[in-house]
Chains A and B, each alone.
Chain A
């Protein structure tokens, strides 16, 4: 296990480094320079040049990248070019918000989708299966801004039972925060349920059809025991992988939902940083999301090996 972890850490470091290089140079392709982005199209060119000089964005690109990455390794994430505050303060706030929403959405969608997928598999080709599969598929193809707007209209405006924005006032209790997060979390549940449920269904069907499952039944084990002890631990393997890959999206990809619900999460922060060519903020934010994604996939791999001894033994070899 230690070797496995070290190997993953090494690969993660290389991945993250490449990520910073790609993001930095890709953002340079966007038109305009930082000073112009900050001051706007109608600002005097002398002001733009002055600001670029103040911010150091008139230096050669490699110099700018080297300055940033050397500071990063010293633990200094730098200052946001647009907002002139430490990147760490902006990131900390946005990440906290994103993690809250992601956690809440996960707690709702994962058990629900797994239950739905397992039930659909157990009732394969019957009405229950069709209903769950069709509903999940239909809901997942509806864009999140449509779902979000509908939920806001129904629950926020017509029925007036839930807030229309997701950011609870400072000092709100956990329950109040959950109430504010309920609509965006439900939007995510609707979006992700179908996908996770289908993967779970496929994995469960595969396990149900496996020889070891037939053997278990032939041994006389009760159905419930077979499903719990033999089917589920194998059927959830692909589901774990899918859930892990959704982590990156849930932490840093919710631009539309965050904008619709005026929620100050990582998605909006990254989008704004990219738009403004605010590369200290952009790089650090993307790194955080990347780290989150890598941690999630690492945990998924560990869970995989715990659930499936064959993977554990081959890793040991």
Chain B
């Protein structure tokens, strides 16, 4: 027997049923190599192992993943200081309450997670070495890396992990992670089995749980149990390859290499984070040579970078999108034909080209972004069809109506609103735009006190999630707290539960397909696109990685000259 095959057989003997199922799917060609690696990491298989199996089995089709996967790997000089432009965090660097990219980038500079969700949606082990589910996905066991030191010198323990997740899952702690962990993990359900093992006992089966405790949940950095999260910002005590040198609120922070790091020491000597209120000075900063890396910029704010040959732009496909909700319980959108008609007016390719310069995937009126491995790509893409739209309106008896569209004045959203208004006018629908500041639009963010959740029609922005779970439970579930369309559908609720509980990709895709088709039919929400996450670096800086959730990894970064 071939040595490679023998090794594969050994691996399979030691693998769980779920892991073998994933391997089988790959061999049968049901998974691309990229999806195989992604899904494998979620259930706890290591990337080297997955890469070996992929090479050995040689199955699956290659498809394009990212359009330009970060900064190309190259030979870099040791040392140097990398200057990073980051958007201003709106809060103190308190891991429990941080809510934006700036905050995520800041605390992620020294803090580490159980795993890191990289730009390819793969989970790279960090403070957890491996993880696996029980048979029905109601328990996940994580092996905690041993001998890891904090920057303060203390040793990371399993108890620290328990403390973090008990804190994040407790409604009494002002935790911003509740939106991800609510209904998934309750306080007290994180069990320390021994120094190296933590078991999460979930509220319900969840096939994507490891992603919810990875860096994609940016509140989930592991820090010492004896530190009050409100005081964490005084020391930034973490386990990462960089440690804090100095932090000045609203200005920036400097970090130096941590020589006691458990893994490969960082290549740069240090990094400097400069905080910016808006994109324009960030763009000027990289063009003027004051920063080396812009963690994130938008097409609307960074056009000057897209056309600049002296700047290297990296684009990561994400699930970030805008939702056009239509209240299913209010006139004129109580009839799904009217909602379908509005969705059919959208020229999605034109929106992608015009608003994003092509740097976006088409949306198909459901939250299953093309970048997700669980998305069923056989579901037909909705395209503009004005004749059908008019027919649907006529059948519904709702021709020539007027409706208000509420939204806020950020990024390309006002332009999108204007275009939707224009498209709708072509089928005789008049849309009055009510564009306010974000504070007014979101209000108190509860039903009855928020234009976002109370308006008949509105546009809302949603940031990237490596899995669609939070979108499904919060936006589309009948009791979802972000359910601006007031969509109540028992079948959808059932399919959502089915999807979330599915452990293998086949089952996830099966549930996803039914959900995609149902949502396409009901169209409580129209999603025209999922746009790319853009970051920029100077040509001399290599190996700087952004992860589309605000974190970035500069540990392997360096300058070529």
A interface residues with partner B (beta carbon < 8 Å): 30-33, 35-48, 50-51, 54, 80, 82-85, 89-90, 93-94, 149, 152, 156-157, 160, 163-165, 167, 170, 259-262, 264, 268-269, 272, 275-276
The residue on A at minimum CB distance from B100 is A40
Contact call A38/B251, Cβ cutoff below 8 A = no
| CB-defined contacts of A93 to chain B, threshold 8 Å | 248, 250-251
Instruction: Say whether B79 faces chain A, with CB atoms less than 8 Å apart.
Output: no
Contact call B99/A262, Cβ cutoff below 8 A = no
Instruction: Say whether B442 faces chain A, with CB atoms less than 8 Å apart.
Output: yes
| CB-defined contacts of B176 to chain A, threshold 8 Å | 39-40, 43, 47
What's the Cα separation between A117 and B25 when bound, in Å?
Answer: 82
Contact call B444/A33, Cβ cutoff below 8 A = yes
The residue on A at minimum CB distance from B174 is A51
Instruction: Say whether B233 faces chain A, with CB atoms less than 8 Å apart.
Output: yes
Contact call B288/A160, Cβ cutoff below 8 A = yes
Contact call A31/B249, Cβ cutoff below 8 A = no
List 30 A-B residue pairs with CB atoms under 8 Å apart, sorted by A's residue number.
A33-B444, A36-B444, A36-B445, A38-B97, A39-B91, A39-B176, A40-B100, A40-B176, A42-B99, A44-B171, A48-B174, A51-B174, A82-B91, A83-B249, A83-B250, A84-B92, A84-B233, A93-B251, A157-B284, A157-B287, A167-B251, A259-B280, A262-B285, A264-B250, A264-B251, A268-B250, A268-B277, A269-B250, A272-B250, A276-B90
Instruction: Say whether B443 faces chain A, with CB atoms less than 8 Å apart.
Output: yes
| CB-defined contacts of B90 to chain A, threshold 8 Å | 37-38, 40, 82, 276
**Which residues of chain B (394-450) have a CB below 8 Å from chain A?**
438-440, 442-446, 450
Instruction: Say whether B274 faces chain A, with CB atoms less than 8 Å apart.
Output: yes
Instruction: Say whether B200 faces chain A, with CB atoms less than 8 Å apart.
Output: no
Contact call A32/B442, Cβ cutoff below 8 A = yes
**Which residues of chain B (322-358) have a CB below 8 Å from chain A?**
none
Interchain CB contact (< 8 A) of A262 among B91, B182, B281? B281
What's the Cα separation between A51 and B175 when bound, in Å?
Answer: 9
Instruction: Say whether B482 faces chain A, with CB atoms less than 8 Å apart.
Output: yes
What's the Cα separation between A37 and B439 when bound, in Å?
Answer: 8
Contact with A along B180-193 (1 / 0, CB 8 A): 00100000000000
Q: How many A-B residue pairs have CB under 8 A?
A: 143
Contact call A260/B280, Cβ cutoff below 8 A = yes
Contact with A along B219-263 (1 / 0, CB 8 A): 000000000001001000000000000101111000000000000
Q: Given A31-B443, A50-B172: A156 and B284 within 8 A (CB)?
A: yes
Interchain CB contact (< 8 A) of A40 among B99, B246, B290, B446? B99
Query: Measured between C-beta atoms, what is the minimum distance from A155 to chain B in Å?
Result: 10
Contact call B290/A163, Cβ cutoff below 8 A = yes
Instruction: Say whether B381 faces chain A, with CB atoms less than 8 Å apart.
Output: no
Query: Measured between C-beta atoms, what is the minimum distance from A150 to chain B in Å?
Result: 12
Instruction: Say whether B481 faces chain A, with CB atoms less than 8 Å apart.
Output: yes
| CB-defined contacts of B474 to chain A, threshold 8 Å | 42
Query: Measured between C-beta atoms, what is the minimum distance from A274 to chain B in Å?
Result: 10
What's the Cα separation between A268 and B276 when bound, in Å?
Answer: 11
Instruction: Say whether B560 faces chain A, with CB atoms less than 8 Å apart.
Output: no
| CB-defined contacts of A268 to chain B, threshold 8 Å | 250, 277
| CB-defined contacts of B94 to chain A, threshold 8 Å | 84
Q: Given A30-B439, A47-B175, A90-B249: A42 and B277 within 8 A (CB)?
A: no
| CB-defined contacts of B92 to chain A, threshold 8 Å | 80, 82-85
The 10 closest A-B pairs by CB, nearest first: A164-B288, A51-B174, A44-B178, A46-B171, A41-B442, A84-B92, A40-B99, A262-B281, A41-B445, A164-B284
Contact call B99/A43, Cβ cutoff below 8 A = yes
Contact call A43/B178, Cβ cutoff below 8 A = yes
Contact with A along B270-288 (1 / 0, CB 8 A): 0000101110110011011
**Which residues of chain B (474-491) have a CB below 8 Å from chain A?**
474, 481-482
Instruction: Say whether B452 faces chain A, with CB atoms less than 8 Å apart.
Output: yes
Q: Given A39-B97, A84-B92, A84-B230: A44 and B439 within 8 A (CB)?
A: no
| CB-defined contacts of A262 to chain B, threshold 8 Å | 274, 276-277, 281, 285
